[in-house]
Amino acid sequence: MSEKVLMKGNEALAEAAIMAGCRHYLGYPITPQTEIAAYMAKRMPKVGGTFLQAESEIAAINMVIGVSSAGKRAMTSSSSPGISLKGEGLSYLAGCDLPAFVVNVQRGGPGLGGIQPSQSDYFQAVKGTSHGDYRMLVLAPASVQEMVTMTFKGFDLADKYRMTVMLLADGTMGQMMEPVSLDMGEVTEYDKSWAVTGTNCERSHNIVNSLFLKPEELEKKNFERYEKYRVIEENEVMYEEYMMDDAEYCIVAFGIAARISKNAIDMARAKGIKVGMLRPITLWPFPKKEMRAIADRVKSFISVELSMGQMIEDIRLATECTRPVYLCNRTGGMIMTPEEVLAKIEEASKGGNN
Amino acid sequence: MTKNMLIAGFGGQGILFSGKFLAYEGLLEDKSVSWLPSYGPEMRGGTANCSVIISDTPVGSPIVSNPDILMVMNMPSLDKYEDATVVGGQIFIDSALIDRKVNREDVEAYYIPATKLASDEGLSGLANMIMIGYVIRKTNIIPFENIERALQKVVPASKQHLLDANKKALELGFNYAE
């Protein structure tokens, strides 16, 4: 299937999940990601899969725990307030070392917020969706094509590392249509001898559990998990550079903010300002090493985000505060224009106070 | 070359569909394209709009805030987007629904009574495609000779009987004599 088709981001990622072998979608509707559920409701019965609209987001994530415990690929999707409800389940998934694929098509917050696009769940996704020592692998697509490739890859990473992979999109990515190729290649099968599939009285029981009352045991589990996270930080960082070869200023942006920044960079370049962009595709693991190296050759950074400034903290950490970091942001469902980003680039190029 | 287009009107006028048709034909022409709808409560009866970009180079932001081409099918949309149109841009107006002229003199304005033409020709509900036919003639945003293949892509399988009517509406707009 090499022919490109025009698809909405939400629908394209749903199809990619099916191509990745997911046959269990458990969800609950919320704007702006309801097309995922609608698409799954239509498609899953045709491929012998299960579409289930749960009674709540909390029920849906707990059904994901169930399916995943049985060794099958499972996913759920929601938007910001719904992801908060799933928080408990995400912590249990981590504590049980279970693979899962979770989509957050972000909208404005806090609270019930609004329904327009936002990136203000960055902290939630990369720092702490819920209680306990754990991480999720966080993928941030910036096109409908990446919604597809990152979903396919996300299921693979989830099985490979036995952990939750979150696709962190936003309302624009979910709602927009772009040409997309659904040519994905083969699905890799992973050993799931740990799964709870019935013993047939031929082996000892597998137990999927996150309760460890002996602190020595729990600490050991956490140490092991963080060793796994260290390997991921070493091997799974993804990013894209745009016009960074001779750049004196570096924009850091992901998702829709990166798309807007590209326009602004082209406008700035036309004015002779040497600006480029580092676009993290994995938000965790964050491209720390790459950013630290760039800090040695640029004058300043500009964080472009649809939030009050969340990723900017990770940029400061990664660059060890060796360079000023400017913030260009809108929030609450408002989206910056390329002209607003350009104005911030010009401010940075004049060395104004950040 | 990049064409940034904004299509706006009431929910139910086929605003999003007409944008999708243009984007699909752009895709079939091997162009970079994007289509971004307004979403939310306005879909249920209020105003609706969509951004369509057709370009020879990869599309950056999919959001069109300053259109090269503006197509409007109600008064609030003309009021809202007239000033946002770029200097030298083209504004297309359904003059059966909007009874004022464009105030600016630095844009090209085109008037077509699409909704009236649609009801006169037994094409009710297809004023959007009459507008699009006219837009294609005046902008060359996509080649007119290939409209059928894009129609086949965007008209759902269950509504294939509407293909001819859509084609007729596009032709009516394309051949409209002011």
* Residue A189's CATH number: 3.40.50.970
- Cβ burial, residue B115 (10 Å; 0-12/13-18/19+): buried
Read off the DSSP letter of residue A320.
T
Q: A97 and A225 in contact (C-beta within 8 Å)?
A: yes
Burial of B175 (0-12, 13-18, 19+ CB in 10 A): exposed
A172 and A300 inside one domain: no
Residue among A155, A167, A152, A161 nearest A121 (CA): A167
pLDDT score at A352: 65
Please check whether residues A115 and A25 belong to one and the same domain: yes
What is the Cα A79 distance to its own chain's centre? 12
Containing A9, the helix (H) or strand (E) segment is helix A9-19
CB contacts under 8 A, B 103-122 vs A, are: none
- CA-based nearest distance B62→chain A, Å: 8
Q: How far apart are the first and last CA of chain A?
A: 49
The pLDDT value given to residue A222: 98
User: Are residues A260 and A175 part of one domain?
Assistant: no
The amino acid at residue A148 is V
Question: Residue B43 — very low, low, confident or very high, per pLDDT cuts 50/70/90?
Answer: low
For residue B20, the domain's CATH number is: 3.40.920.10
Output phi, psi for B111, to 5 deg.
-115, 130
Structure tokens at B119: 């009801």
- Nearest Cα of chain A lies from the Cα of B136 at a distance, in angstroms, of 20
What is the number of structural domains in chain A? 2
Nearest CA to B174 among B122, B98, B86, B110? B110
Torsion from C-alpha of A156, A161, A164, A167, nearest 10 degrees: -40
Q: Could you tell me the sign of the dihedral formed by the alpha carbons of A208, A211, A216, A218, in that order?
A: positive
- On whether residue A205 sits in a domain, the answer given is no
Beta-carbon-side half-sphere exposure of residue A183 (alpha carbons within 13 Å): 6
pLDDT for the residue numbered B161: 87
Same domain for A182 and A263? no
Residues 6+ apart with CB under 8 A from B125: B14, B118
Residue A288 maps to which CATH number? 3.40.50.920
- Which among B33, B40, B61 has CB closest to A115? B40
Q: What is the pLDDT of residues A228-283, one digit of tens each?
A: 999 999 999 999 999 999 999 999 999 999 999 999 999 999 999 999 999 999 99
Rounded Cα gap, residues A236 and A233, in angstroms: 6
The whole-number pLDDT of residue A1 equals: 46
CA distance B3 to chain A (A): 14
Containing A177, the helix (H) or strand (E) segment is strand A177-180
Q: Which chain B residue has the Cα nearest residue A339?
A: B65
What's the whole-model pTM score?
0.95
User: Could you say which of B34, B39, B61 has the minimum Cβ distance to residue A177?
Assistant: B34
pLDDT at B40: 66
| Any domain includes A204 | no
Rounded to whole angstroms, the Cα distance separating B126 from B170 reads 9
Tell me the β-bridge partners of A243: none
Give the total residue count for chain A: 354
What whole-number distance in Å separates Cα of residue B85 and Cα of residue B83?
6
Q: Are residues A113 and A262 in the same domain?
A: no
Going from the C-alpha of B29 to that of each of A242, B21, B55, B60, the distances in angstroms are 26, 13, 10, 19
- Probe site for chain A from B33, B39, B57 (most A CB atoms < 10 A): B39
Predicted confidence (pLDDT) at residue B176 exceeds the cutoff of 50: yes
Percentage of chain A lying above the pLDDT 90 cut: 97
Mean predicted confidence (pLDDT) in A57-86? 98
Kindly identify which residue of chain B lies nearest to residue A263, measuring between CA atoms. Answer: B60
Q: pLDDT tens across B116-166, in order?
A: 999 999 999 999 999 999 999 999 999 999 999 999 999 988 888 899 999
A202 lies in a domain?
A: no
Query: Residue B90's domain spans which residues?
Result: 2-174
Closest C-alpha among B87, B128, B137, B129 to residue B110:
B137
Same-domain status, A231 and A244: no
Token pair in block for residue A63? 């059904």
Query: What residue numbers bound the domain in which A286 lies?
Result: 240-349
ipTM, two decimals, is 0.93
Interface of A with B in 315-354 (CB under 8 A): 335, 337-338
Using DSSP's 3-state secondary structure scheme, residue B3 falls into strand
Q: What is the pLDDT of residue A121?
A: 98
Host H or E run for residue B35: strand B32-37
A82: nearest Cα among A20, A15, A36, A29: A29
Whether chain A has a CB inside 8 Å of the CB on B28: the answer is: no
What total of structural domains would you count in chain B? 1
B80 touches B58 (CB < 8 A): no
With CB atoms and an 8 Å threshold, state whether B35 touches A176.
yes
Q: How many angstroms separate the CA atoms of A274 and A263, rounded?
A: 14
What does pLDDT average to over chain A?
96
> Roughly how many angstroms between the first and final C-alpha of chain B, as a whole number?
28
Measured between beta carbons, the chain A residues lying within 8 angstroms of B35 are: 6, 176-178
Same domain for A259 and A190: no
- Please choose, from the candidates B74, B97, B90, B94, the residue with its C-alpha nearest in 3D space to the C-alpha of residue B8: B74
